[in-house]
Amino acid sequence: MRKVKTAVFPVGGLGTRFLPATKSMPKEMLPIANKPIIQYAYEEARDAGIEKFVFVTGRNKNAINNHFDHAYELESKLDEKNKSQELGQVMGWLPDAGQIAFVRQQKPLGLGHAIWCARNFIAKDEAFVVILADEMMMQSPNRKRNFLGEMIDLYQNKEDISSIVAVDEIDMKDTNKYGIIKVEGAEKIIDMVEKPKTEVAPSNLAITGRYILQPEIFEYLEKFEIGSGGEIQLTDAMKSMCKTHPFYCKKIDEVRFDCGNVLGYLEANIAFALANGAIESDVKKILKKYSN
């Protein structure tokens, strides 16, 4: 069985779409209900079978490191007071020692550069996962294996050694916010372009923050080509690589929230709050109160 055991989380971005909230706080630490965005992403990876977690961070991101560490004072106080539920929320989900690494992206040169910064932590003969935490998915309750897990299954069951990219159908007017792919048949990616204008977009299939990549991607990333927005783009590296290496797409079949913008973030908060049985009816009352 081909192994996929490592996930890379690029979390060094400046969060400029979320100012002033992200002036001194990482956008990945913004909560959806009571849990920070990055913890959802970590749990999704863990539930899909990932065992090594590499966070590519930057300045002002120490709150992320601390969130994945023990908080001794808090833990001992909760323990003293026999608050076992709260204790579980603080430390019950933590990765084991040695499962997690933090790499520093010293300059915010783009998503492609962030992934390249993780190269020394990726096995040469093993595909790895990339998760963009601000693209959130809500797993439907009757689903056993999450979407990322199904992506890994798809990769493992393919005859050829390939890369897999999650995509979602979007409104054509929004193509300039995403990487857009061109497909042949149902799932073979033959081209892609980062943030095209609607007039030149090859489809309405947007890349949505979950990738399984072969380590050869680093050969393309280290060309450091400057792309959309003056940044080194992962999409550009994949675009070159897909000419000679097979790339497939898998369409997202879950509810997805783009928490990188304020409206998507608010929607996720409402949806996750409504999915919590303990507060659902109160949340509905609040929504009603402000809907008239």
Residues that bind ligand G1P (CB under 6 A): 111, 132, 135, 178-179, 194, 206-209, 233-235, 260
Would you say 78 or 260 has its CB closer to ligand G1P? 260
Would you say 41 or 111 has its CB closer to ligand G1P? 111
Would you say 105 or 235 has its CB closer to ligand G1P? 235
- Give the length of the chain: 292
Question: What's the closest the beta carbon of residue 207 comes to ligand G1P, in angstroms?
Answer: 4
Smallest CA-to-CA distance from 129 within 10, 257, 239, 236 is with 10
Question: What's the closest the beta carbon of residue 149 comes to ligand G1P, in angstroms?
Answer: 20
* Chain position whose Cβ is nearest to ligand G1P: 179
Whole-number Å distance between alpha carbons of 228 and 254: 28
Question: CB–CB of 166/211 below 8 Å?
Answer: yes
Question: What's the closest the beta carbon of residue 134 comes to ligand G1P, in angstroms?
Answer: 7
Question: What's the closest the beta carbon of residue 189 comes to ligand G1P, in angstroms?
Answer: 13
Question: What's the closest the beta carbon of residue 12 comes to ligand G1P, in angstroms?
Answer: 11
